[in-house]
Chain A
Amino acid sequence: MAGIDGHEPVTMTMAQALNHGLRRALERDAKTVLFGEDIGRLGGVFRVTDGLQKDFGEHRVIDAPLAESGIVGAAVGLAMRGYRPVLEMQFDGFVYPAFDQIVSQVAKLRRRTEGAISLPITIRIPYGGGIGAVEHHSESPEAYFAHTPGLRVLTPSDPQAAFDTIQQAIASDDPVIYLEPKRRYWDKGSVDASADPLDPAMAPYPWRARTLRVGSDVTIVCYGPMVRTCLEAARASGEVSIEVIDLQSLSPVDYDAIVASVERTARLVVVHEASRNAGLGAEIATRISERCFTMLEAPVTRVTGYDVPYPPNRLEEFFLPDLDRVLDGVDRVMSY
């Protein structure tokens, strides 16, 4: 990883970009502590925290007992003492024991104390499928958290975004659910570490959507693991010109960016891995119908996982939206 601190962009995986982002956060603020299961000597099951305990010490990168509610509940106390905890939930399907602490305490304590207590807690959660895992290791729980007032929800889609937004999430005085698309951990990309992501003049604001590809016929809104899939679909679409928006922030959602795009394309496809019912796509479709009703050429269409428990991995290719299903959604809005 030589060169990360230089001025030349460096090619690295998303996991490595997160590691560098975490390292920067630990260097920046002595009150930042990492707390999670197996994050120390092992470096996390995905190696995102690799080497950090060695370099920053056991008091900064703390291996936790195997209890997710305990990790989040203790982080509330750490934050009340002035710390800035960055937590790792080992997998999406293991965050639920901590759901009570997240929803009842992390999300509400600032409001309860009328601003006297801030909880600058970042909860990192590897999420999503596509890696051939066993049950509870492929889930997309973002809607639960996006539905909860008091939380912010971020998800990066490439190494540069991961490097920038993990630092922005940690620096935020609000609690952030930080969803890491685990099937993209090993995707490589160029990371320019010379810009300080905490300087608004130098880095994109994390709560804004990013338009990753400009098009004129259809807007695709996606995030996290589906961004690469949708970009590949857009490139493969032939005659149809597809605009691809990476939401990046799932709470709040940058509706202005979507509206601005749909005002030009008049067609919207929302893509996510998560189940369809009451998912992010439902909310986005409603907002766009409220704000763009008369200009739409077709109903907003969703391409999502199905309303079933995440299937055994021999079936996940049928559950997960892929390039063909995204293009099928595009065909539906084009032929309406």
Chain B
Amino acid sequence: MDDSGLGAAGVQLLTARGERVEHPDFAISLTDDELRGLLRDMTLVRRLDAEATALQRQGELGLWASCLGQEAAQVGSAHAMAASDYAFPTYREHGVSWVRGVPPLDMLAMLRGVTNGGWDPNRYRCAPSVIVIGNQALHAVGYAMGIQLDGSQDAAIGYFGDGATAQGDVNEAFVFAAVFNAPVVFLCQNNQWAISQPTGRQTRTPLFERAAGFGFPGIRVDGNDVLAVMAVTRHALARARAGEGPTLIEAFTYRMAAHTTSDDPTRYREAVELEAWRQRDPIERLRVHLANEGIVDDSFLEGLQQESETLGELVRAGVRSMPDPEPGAMFDHVYAEWHPEIEAQRDEVDAYLASFVEEGVR
């Protein structure tokens, strides 16, 4: 039954072969539409990821951090959230921002180099992706403390990876969340690699077990099982809303691609490992399950394929035609209030550029 390499502690509701199994503590019952929606989201996120990788190879994006293989952990956890909850992602959580409704071109704008962000966080209740490892775990906790002060039923999810668990900020986030009993879920995607370093370089204990030392529950879930991730995240969010405090979820998954497009994983990991994880693919197992159950048919899958093609076209055309900002845009929004230095330097840039126009150079 457990064919995920998780060990006994990993919650699983869908085996790698697409068999639906039950777990004594975690159940999930989704409508056919919801199940098809999960397959659709994971499929489209994978396509977005592939298109972005290709666009980087073509020089259209400066960098891309692929989420290949982690679609279930991201899509499943994000689908567990309510609209009024708030997600705090890293730079790899494209599946999270997708489910939160962030338009795909907004996700790509930072990598295109036209902005340092890309979307209005409050519109999607999804913070800008944080690049400094672990910083956002504290933001999620602080946000959750605000929820608590408001007396609201909302919750926050802080995303991070196995590498980030070595950071002080993540450990401080655990402390603050625990002592304030904050309504926050820590969703750690253990994708086995922090660039070139295996999880064993970050920890001597299973990551989910760390939570006990901080005073709240930790759960390991098969991160390639979208149903299990969704069930476990729903459970953790329900705990948060009920005033029962934080939960650490370790979604046990695998980074199928390089760390980023600048990385070369053949220098540090074996192809055989990759192949083993390919057998546990999150999308294929759901597709098999839904096909066996008669929930998806060929016509649905063909429609999804067509939707993927359309998304690919939109992304390719949209990225290539993304306009560069005006030089003066770098001075926008540095401060909320008047700042004489910024205004003087904005004028300096304008005057400098205008001097070329006067000389006929531009």
Contact = CB atoms under 8 A, between A and B. Distances in A.
Whether chains A and B associate is yes
Contact of A78 (B145, B168, B334): B145
B176 A67 contact: yes
Nearest to A97: B168
Contact of A74 (B120, B132, B150, B176): B176
A80 B87 CA distance: 12
A149 interface: yes
B149 interface: yes
A76 B142 contact: yes
Contact of B116 (A70, A77, A112, A173): A112
B141 interface: yes
Contact of B173 (A70, A81, A100): A70
B324 interface: no
A124 interface: no
A132 interface: no
Contacts of A207: 340
Nearest to B177: A74
Interface string A109-122: 11111111110100
A252 interface: yes
B135 interface: yes
A69 B150 CA distance: 23
A105 B135 contact: yes
Given A115-B332, A116-B121, A74 B142 contact: yes
A81 B132 contact: no
Given A77-B156, A113-B128, A116-B120, A152 B335 contact: yes
B175 A65 contact: yes
B334 A73 contact: no
Q: What is the interface residue range for chain A against chain B? A: 35 or more
B237 interface: no
Contacts of B123: 116
A269 B340 CA distance: 23
Contacts, number: 139
Interface string A68-101: 0110111111111111000000000000010011
Contact of B175 (A67, A83, A109, A252): A67
Contacts of B150: 81
A117 B121 contact: yes
A81 to B, nearest CB: 3
Interface string A307-322: 0000000000000000
B339 interface: yes
Nearest to A85: B142
Interface residues of B, number: 44
Interface in A40-73: 59, 64-65, 67, 69-70, 72-73
Given A76-B139, A101-B138, A113-B120, A173 B337 contact: yes
B146 A172 contact: no
Interface string B140-161: 1111111101100000100000
B62 interface: no
Interface in A141-159: 149-150, 152
A152 B339 CA distance: 9
Contact of B117 (A79, A112, A118): A112
Nearest to B149: A59
Given A65-B175, A108-B116, A113-B121, A77 B334 contact: no
Nearest to B329: A114
A217 interface: no
Given A67-B172, A110-B336, A114-B333, A81 B128 contact: no
B156 A110 contact: no
A239 to B, nearest CB: 36
A174 interface: yes
B121 A77 contact: no
A100 B179 CA distance: 23
Nearest to B330: A111
A284 to B, nearest CB: 13
Contacts of A152: 335, 339
Contact of B336 (A74, A105, A172): A172
A69 B168 contact: yes
B358 interface: no
Given A70-B175, A77-B145, A113-B128, A101 B335 contact: no
- Among B88, B145, B332, B340, max chain A CB count under 10 A is at B145
A173 B139 CA distance: 18
Interface in A259-304: none
A104 interface: yes
A104 B142 contact: no
B117 A113 contact: yes
A33 interface: yes
A248 to B, nearest CB: 14
Contacts of A110: 333-336
Interface of B: 86, 88, 115-117, 120-123, 127-128, 130, 132, 135, 137-147, 149-150, 156, 168-169, 172-173, 175-176, 179, 332-337, 339-341
Query: Shortest 7 CB-CB distances between A and B: which pairs?
Result: A77-B142, A73-B138, A81-B146, A74-B142, A70-B172, A77-B143, A173-B336
19 contacts: A65-B176, A69-B172, A70-B172, A73-B138, A73-B172, A74-B142, A76-B139, A77-B88, A78-B142, A80-B121, A81-B147, A81-B149, A105-B132, A105-B139, A111-B332, A114-B333, A120-B336, A149-B334, A174-B335
Given A73-B173, A152-B335, 19 more contacts: A65-B175, A69-B169, A73-B169, A76-B138, A77-B141, A77-B143, A78-B142, A78-B146, A80-B139, A81-B146, A82-B146, A97-B168, A100-B132, A101-B135, A105-B130, A109-B128, A117-B122, A118-B336, A252-B340
